[in-house]
């Protein structure tokens, strides 16, 4: 009967209950969408950095990170590479050459970042980025460039570019290569400056023989980096190496993300305060409206705390309905944005490109994050019940019932 009473009380003032349920629903919906979208953006930023330039973990010769010169390179031992690939949670190990070159064609010139990689295994996901031509093979003697660079030189597939650079131990590096593929990068910096070539070709160009600049490690799950790192450090290398994780390699990006995340949380905190006042208002109205009834019930012999529990049951029901509905409305959208991100319109496109991410509405599916916010809002809806609690505990029936 107590449950029945609570349930019917919800429908007693339908409008008020709808307002309360509605504001809880809105708060949950908004918090979940905003936070999931935000985390999605961070994830994209990190993924982008990790897949194009750093890897989740990276092995390189000691001192390379401080001075990324072509002279600071390491021996690539195929056995070590195999061992890396067999470590639990390692998805793949990708050897790379990284260097700089001056690119010219006709009378145009531009500085570029050279990345030599194994096109079949590398984390850069070239297939997804390809907009023209073909992904070059490991033994091909052609290169791939970003869209921005192709546009700058006004060249298409099959045209050639001249590369001038510095090879290992000050050897001259100069060659002419045809462009085999054009790649799309969300980040204009990459689009304008990146030259991707087969690892073998890069080794030839820089005269490094079998050596590589670094080995990028991609993990099945980014959180595994702490356990994989010592395993990588434990392998037998030909020279002293250092193993860095992405947190050490892109601290500025992570700091920017952390600052933005705090901003988002503050925003949602403000939303919560507003919602709290809204719910508090409705519960105050409800308590005032039922003062007489509370007076009658205490008079005829109902214990105050029991009476409060009836009111609390009602609040729990309302909060539960609101929170659940908020989740049910938000989740399909989060799910859709996770599996099928919606590309931005033109304007947002420009603003977001500078963050170096694929410009699309993408969100993470993080149930812990969802439940955290659902729990917070549920707790807010419970805390406001301190008001009826105090009112009921101090209510004087004779006064409550005097009209």
Partner 1 sequence: MSIIKTQGLTKIYKEHTVEVRALNGVTMDIAEGEFTAIVGPSGSGKTTLLNIIGGLDKPSGGQVSIGDVDITDLNDNQLIDFRLNNIGFVFQAYNLIPVLTARENVEFIMLMQKRPKAEMDERAESLLKAVGLEDQMHKRPREMSGGQQQRVAVARALASKPKFVLADEPTANLDSKTAINLLDIMATLNKEEGTIFIFSTHDQKVIDRARRVVTLEDGKIVSDVLQN
Residue 367: CB minimum distance to partner 1, A = 37
Nearest to partner 1 of 274, 288 (CB atom) = 288
- Of 203-222, which residues contact partner 1 (CB under 8 A)? none
d(CA 286, CA 388): 9
Q: Is 401 among the residues that bind partner 1 (CB under 8 A)?
A: yes
Q: Which is nearer to partner 1, 1 or 240 (CB)?
A: 1
Q: Is 390 in the site for partner 1 (CB under 8 A)?
A: no
Residue 2 beta carbon to partner 1: minimum distance, rounded to whole angstroms: 8
Beta bridge mates, 218: 92
14 part of the interface to partner 1, by CB under 8 A: no
The CB-of-393 to partner 1 minimum distance in angstroms stands at 10
Supply 61's token pair: 């010769």
Applying the rule CB under 8 A, the residues between 147 and 186 that interact with partner 1 are none
Nearer to partner 1, 12 or 82 (CB): 12
Q: How far is the CB of 292 from partner 1 (least distance, A)?
A: 6
Question: Does 8 participate in binding partner 1 (rule CB under 8 A)?
Answer: yes
Closest separation between CB of residue 278 and partner 1, Å? Answer: 24
Q: Is 399 exposed, middle or buried (0-12, 13-18, 19+ CB in 10 A)?
A: exposed
Closer by beta carbon to partner 1, 175 or else 317 = 317
Closer of 14 and 169 to partner 1 (Cβ):
14
Q: Give least dist CB 21 to partner 1, A.
A: 18
Q: How far apart are CA 210 and CA 238, in angstroms?
A: 13
Place of tokens 């639990």: 88
Q: Which CB atom, from 148 or from 388, has the smaller least distance to partner 1?
A: 388
Which segment (4-12, 130-138, 200-208, 375-383) binds partner 1 by CB under 8 A?
Answer: 4-12
Count of residues for the chain?
A: 403
Q: Binding mask 281-310 vs partner 1 (x if CB under 8 A, - otherwise)?
A: -----------xx--xxxxxxxxx-x----
Which CB, 8 or 336, lies closer to partner 1? 8
Smallest distance from partner 1 to CB 281, Å: 22
For partner 1, how many residues bind (rule: CB under 8 A)? 22
Instruction: State yes or no: residue 224 binds partner 1 (CB under 8 A).
Output: no
Query: CB-wise, 296 or 329, nearer to partner 1?
Result: 296
SS3 assignment for the chain: CHHHHHHHHHHHCHHHHHHHHHHHHHHHHHHHHHHHHHHHHHHHHHHHHHHHHHCCEEEEECCCCCCCCCCCCECCCHHHHHHHHHCCCEEEEEEEEEEEEEEEECCEEEEEEEEEECCCCCCCCHHHHEEEECCCCCCCCCEEEEHHHHHHHCCCCCCEEEEEEECHHHCEEEEEEEEEEEECCCCHHHHHHEEEEEHHHHHHHHCCCCCECEEEEEECCHHHHHHHHHHHHCCCCCCCEEEEEHHHHCHHHHHHHHHHHHHHHHHHHHHHHHHHHHHHHHHHHHHHHCHHHHHHHHHHCCCHHHHHHHHHHHHHHHHHHHHHHHHHHHHHHHHHHHHCCEECCHHHHHHHHCCCCCCEECCCCCHHHHHHHHHHHHHHHHHCCHHHHHHHHHCCHHHHCCC
As measured in angstroms, the least distance from the Cβ of 286 to partner 1 is 13
> Closer CB to partner 1, residue 12 or residue 120?
12
User: What are the structure tokens assigned to 151, written together?
Assistant: 């546009």
- When the beta carbons of 176 and 393 are compared against partner 1, the nearer one is 393
The stretch near partner 1 (CB under 8 A) out of 120-128, 131-139, 208-216, 395-403 is 395-403
- Largest pairwise CA distance in the chain: 100
Nearest to 114 by CA among 155, 50, 161, 60: 161
Residue 5 sits in the site that holds partner 1 (CB under 8 A): yes
Closest approach, Cβ 25 to partner 1, in A, equals 24
313 touching partner 1, by CB under 8 A: no
Shorter beta-carbon distance to partner 1: residue 76 or 297: 297
Which residues of this protein are in contact with partner 1, per CB under 8 A? 1, 4-5, 8-9, 11-12, 292-293, 296-304, 306, 397-398, 401
């Amino acid at each position: 009967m107590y449950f029945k009473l609570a349930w019917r009380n919800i429908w007693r003032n339908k409008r008020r209950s709808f307002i309360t349920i509605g504001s809880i629903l809105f708060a949950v919906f908004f918090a979940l969408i905003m936070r999931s979208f935000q985390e999605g953006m961070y994830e994209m930023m990190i993924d982008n950095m990790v897949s194009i330039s750093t890897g989740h973990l990276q092995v390189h010769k000691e001192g390379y990170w401080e001075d990324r010169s072509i002279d600071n390179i390491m021996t690539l031992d195929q056995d070590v590479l195999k061992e890396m690939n067999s470590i639990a949670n390692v998805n793949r190990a990708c050897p790379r050459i990284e260097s700089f070159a001056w690119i010219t064609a006709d009378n145009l010139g531009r500085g570029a970042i050279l990345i030599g990689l194994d096109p079949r295994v590398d984390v850069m996901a070239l297939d997804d980025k390809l907009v023209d031509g073909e992904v070059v093979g490991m033994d091909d003697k052609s290169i791939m460039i970003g869209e921005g660079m192709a546009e700058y030189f006004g060249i298409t597939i099959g045209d050639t570019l001249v590369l001038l650079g510095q090879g290992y131990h000050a050897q001259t590096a100069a060659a002419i290569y045809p462009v085999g593929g054009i790649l799309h990068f969300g980040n204009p910096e990459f689009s304008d400056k990146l030259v991707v070539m087969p690892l073998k070709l890069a080794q030839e160009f820089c005269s490094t023989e079998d050596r590589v600049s670094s080995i990028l490690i991609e993990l099945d799950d980014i959180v595994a980096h702490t356990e994989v790192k010592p395993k990588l450090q434990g392998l037998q290398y030909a020279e002293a190496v250092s193993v860095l994780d992405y947190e050490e390699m892109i601290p500025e990006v992570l700091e920017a993300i952390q600052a933005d995340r705090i901003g988002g949380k503050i925003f949602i905190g403000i939303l919560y305060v507003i919602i709290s006042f809204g719910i508090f208002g409705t519960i105050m109205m409800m308590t005032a409206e039922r003062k007489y009834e509370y007076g009658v019930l205490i008079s005829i012999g109902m214990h105050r705390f029991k009476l409060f529990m009836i009111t609390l049951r009602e609040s729990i029901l309302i909060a539960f309905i609101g929170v659940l509905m908020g989740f049910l409305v938000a989740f399909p959208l989060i799910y859709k944005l996770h599996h099928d991100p919606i590309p931005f319109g033109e304007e947002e496109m420009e603003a977001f490109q500078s963050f170096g991410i694929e410009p699309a509405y993408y969100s993470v599916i993080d149930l812990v994050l969802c439940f955290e916010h659902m729990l917070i809002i549920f707790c807010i809806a419970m805390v406001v019940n301190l008001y009826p609690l105090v009112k009921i505990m101090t209510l004087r029936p004779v006064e409550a019932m005097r009209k």
